[in-house]
Structure 1
Amino acid sequence: MRARAGVAPWWRFAVGGSAVASHALLPVGPARDVLYVAIGVLAVAAAVVGIRRHGPPHRAPWAILTCGLAVWVAGDTVWILRERLGADPFPSVADAVSLLGYVLLAVGIVRLARVRNPASDSIAVLDAVLVGTVVLAVLWISAVGPAFEAPGPHGLAAVVAAAYTVGDVVLLTLLAYLAGGSSFRSRCLWLLWAGLAATLAADVLFEASTTLTWVGPYGVRIEWLWLAGYALLGLAVADCSIVAASERQPPPSERVGLSRLAWLWVVLLALPGAAVVQWLAGEDPDSVELAVAGCVVVGLVITRMLLMARRMVAQADRLAALADADALTGLANVRAFSIEVARRLEDGGRPVPVLLVVLDRFTEITETLGHRVGDELLRAAADRMRDAVGPSGYVARISGERFGVLVDTGPQGALDRAGDLLLELAAPFTLSDVSVSVDALVGVAVGPDDGTDAEDLLQRADVALSAARTRPERVARYTGRMSAGGALTPHLMTELAAALENGEIVVHYQPQITVRTGRVHGVEALVRWQHPVHGLLPPASFIPAAERTGLIRPLTLYVLDRALAQAAQWRREERNLAVSVNLSVRDLLDPAFVHDVRRALDRYGVGTASLELEITETMAMVDPNRSLEVLEALAGLGVLLSVDDYGTGYSSLAYLQRLPVQRLKIDRSFVMGLVGDGPSAAIVRSTIELARNLGMTVVAEGVEDDATLLTLQEMSCDAAQGFGIGHPVPADEIPDLVAAIEERIPHVLRQGVPVGQRPL
């Protein structure tokens, strides 16, 4: 039976249509009047039976709608009786009864809207009022106004006739709000819409009967329209879809679809369209009515724009709050921690100790007792550390079981506070089901001596952690003699300049795909050092030092040269792949860099559309004025500018809107947690929607699996890259990698389910 619940009862439509047609064919007389009333009564009875049979979760709106329909039928019955008794049926008490029906129908629609969407959508309300205003203005110009101006007596009859038209427009406006505020796919709602539209058509023709003589006395030739309205309203309430239509709907999307925008444009053009029609018909346009309606429409549009702007600001604020907080512990996250470290370093004059605290054996605890206990432990540890450092300290969750702590002391005081933290964490944790004890380690780095930004200080503190594992006090401060876990020693850094000349610096390429199609559209150029002794070194091993020593400028130009040379080679092989190259802050502060880019493009004959230059959020904020000049000059060349690692810096989309960038690359820290982490998903979704509203495209970095890619597809993300799509590889391996990606990824996107993944 459930499978048949959505099948339309076509026999009801056939019966209702046959009855309406039969009435239209009967001659004017008692039989025709009896059939008219019978059809109305049957429509009310069908609605009552439908409510009792289907039992919607909220019956009140449908019951009120049925009462409104019944009052309409009662009003028409009084009309017919007065006509048969020789009294003038219009205007009369029958009209008072019928107009009461409009009130009940309006209340029913409003109640239904509140059931489906309890949180009223102000923009949907404005859209509905906008539609209603324009429709009423057009009807007034085309039908109501001429009826008042026609020769003959007016007064109460004209006012009552106009009240019917206004009532119809109000009801349709309320239905438009219902459509704009939530999903409008239920069959019963479309039937309501059709029934009210038929009634509006009948009332407008009745209003114009003074000039349209074919309508007949009292609209006798258009009675079938009123009957069709009765039948459709009765069938709407009797339909089984009232159950689904009574349920609470998902919150309306804040994105404005093309169909909604197109509809609003049609509505806005209706008023000038009415004036043009009048002019073409040889009539003087109703300037007063058009002016009044135009002023109302302009006011509504301005109000709508202000509400949309306020909504975007609120959404950006929510995004910023999510971006700075750890959802599990309520602490600041690594982004907020980096900002706080930068602020304290900028104050100057005092050391900035950074403590990196790790809960040892945390993985064993989660594997033994479960992730729920692990989450409780992280929350409890966060509370203890927050209490231990007091109001002058700062605690953030960096990742997993790692916490960053800032204390307002000197280097020795930082070591003392580290010992206090270990004592606090040494006491057993009483969780919901078990008592747990953990060991902690603390690595200490002090800025600016050990590093000039949060990334450097956390890296040095991490190095100190390795030493802390071997010490009984479980605390260590970073010293230059400690192994940097892969970072190059100073004597190796002296080899970097020679490596550039000897061809040891190589470029690998990581594919980027268009999420909609799964096809590879470009690659990101990623630098590597093929060291003769230490092997292939990642950029994190030498890029920070290259930036400090000034080698970053020739290094960037080298990568740019190699990437464009390779793009030209691919183009000769009929492989149309764009290349993206990462810039440094020194590039943005050097106006000559624009000339370097232009010369490199000309050297290899590569079009500007094939080159993308990536900056980070913080790079453009070092010297905003000089950076903006260079960026605008690069944009003038026609190259694509993008913001890399979005979400890890200090800027906002509002600030980035001032820059001539066309693309955002969401940082992998948000994308990698997209499937299992609600806040990360909210950040990614909001960033995609806000970026699109600002005219930017979005690339998601760090796509590690098919589930993440499918989630990005559902969010309408533009492009993606990551190990789950393809690893960075040398240029000669790109053709095979692209072929493998375009064989597998489109299938994943079409099927909508992850498939067996293999390393690419």
Structure 2
Amino acid sequence: MNRLLLGLTWLMLAVYALWLTVRTGADASLLLDGILDIGTQIAAAALAWSHLRQAGRRRPEIVAMAAAVSVFALSNGVYVWLYALGIEYDFPAPTDYGFALFYPLVLIAVGLAARRELNTRAGPEVWMDSALGMLGSGAVIAMVLNEVLLRASGNALGASLALFYPLCDLFLAAFVLGMIAMQGRRLRPYWLLLLGGLTAFTVIDMMSALSLLTNSYQPGGGTDVLWTIGLVLMATWTVDPHEPAPDTEHQPALLLPGLATLASLAVLVAAGTGFKGDHVSGLALGLAVLTQVAAGVRTLYAFRQLRRLTLLRKQASTDDLTGLANRRAFHGDADGRLRRLSGRRSCALLLVDLDRFKEVNDSLGHHIGDRLLLEIGRRLEAATRPGDLLARLGGDEFAIFIEDVDEPGAELLAESLRAEIARPFTLEGIALRTDASIGMVLAPEHGDTLTLLLRRADIAMYQAKRQRRGQLVYSGDSDDSGPMRLRILQELHSGLEQGQMALHYQPKLDLVTGEVHAVEALVRWSHPERGLLYPDSFLTLAEDAGMMRRLNQAVLTEALDQAALWHRARRPLSVAVNLSPSSLVDADLPYELAAMLNQRGLPAEALEIEVTEEFLMSDHDRTREILTRLRDLGIRIAVDDFGTGYSSLAYLRELPVDDLKLDRSFVFPMAEDARAAALVFSTIELAHSLGLHMVAEGVEDQTTLTALAENGCDQAQGYFIARPLAASALDDWLATRERTIRAP
């Protein structure tokens, strides 16, 4: 039905236009001309109303446009009927008020359509530019036509009123033209129908304005068809184009407001210098002034938008936390520098990764971690040259691109950067120390593309971290370390999920009674392909990958489960577990350990926590708080690897510690080195004077064991006593030892 009505409307328009062409020069046939003219306009109104059922989201705008076409057709019909009765009015006639209502209805329809198509992506600049186009063009046409009409009619009021229709046409056309310009290549063609209809109205209204003022207008002229053409085009605009709205960012067109501003300036200049000896009309002058005001507002808004775009562009290339360049900016800048250098000069890429940064986030909170990253960024920026490219790639990883530097220069810079990072930080009253691992590559020696350089710097960095070397220049021999590391990491994830971690227990011999009441739990990885793996092959990787807390949880669970079995078997062995710093500074750790002990019916003394000197000195206040809460539960605290650190002995007096475990590097040479033996014996006396128990690690022979016992050492462990054993093997060892002791 809609297609039939559309075809009928255009057929009637074609017949009407053909009739006007055929009778050119003849007198108008009021009956035939009126029927064809009014009939075509009524058909156009019916066409517009017929699309309401399928309108969907366009319903409001189609209602407004259909009402506009209907009002115009009705007013035109009344005008022709009055003219046929011989009733004539000077302009403006009563029917002109009906014609005037046509324009706000069209404006509503166009505004609703613009709002729908531009949606929320259309900012104020869209409406500002459209207003500028309408005001500027209106000022020009008001000045020119007012002069022409005034000279022709001598009626100043009539001339001003006659400008109403052309100005309204031009306003609407400028608005639609702005819409078309903003859509650019994604223009929906049906907007051209509306622009064509308004253009036809503009032309005919300009032509008829003069004839109306001079009372020379005669209905039925050949140009009258332009009104009908305009109405048919506007009615056709309501036809649903069945196209999805273009998903694009609309940009304001600058040509239209620019031309409008220049046009209004021309009107103001004409008003100041005189236009053909007469003054410019007040309407034209007012529109020109409004155009300049709107242009000023638009300019201020444009500057504001420009500042906002500049800020957004900066934010897009800047790391929010540190203010350094981000990964995107680093890639763009470093790529450009590599292409510019093109092998003519040597350059270096340094990849900096913090050691154990995840522990800071886990134990102290992300806000402390963020502040630490901010401070490190500042130190790195101060330690690099102004021309060097420094960026934070993400997380705790930084990159530095340096031009005109050789390998010794890159290594020297890496050393200075590590020294800067190693200086203590004080954040919210907490003293922190951190280290970094740096991987270095040189261009063009190690690659000529940024992707390749970053990959190889990453390999060197992880190799430096794994070997605890601090910094390392890439070597092609280790090029498979990256994939191998990822493979091991994935296997470790699977191993934790599948319960592949196993514990071996090394007994601690009581040197006073000769009995075993305690063991140390040592983790092993029962790898399905590579067999039993010792901690040095996976602990560092687990620590770097942030998996230590999961691993510690698995170790604690198995150790306490085994301790519960021993207690039920009337063999109450206490189990010592070495926990990572990230777990030890967890405020919930005491509650979790208490719950685990209660679930298994174990007393608190069944568990001993071993800590390192490094942990004890990392955050004195927090360490005291956590250890005190553990001691309050009855859990014993031992200092592992005692003597290997460089910290003050004051913590032995201030912190709640029960045992000292003297590192094997002091115990092992005792039998042959008198100075080593003296250090061990003096340490035993120190521990006893502080009320602490002494445990000697690394006992490898009977001479050492006898010397430790004679000098008051409390406990000893080492291969001479027993290697770390699986729980079942340890049970057999203990049973055999008990039978040997009881034998006469």
Q: Does the pair score TM above 0.5? A: no
Q: What TM-score, normalized by structure 2, do the two folds share?
A: 0.44
Rg: which structure is higher? 2
Q: Output the TM-score relative to the length of structure 1.
A: 0.43
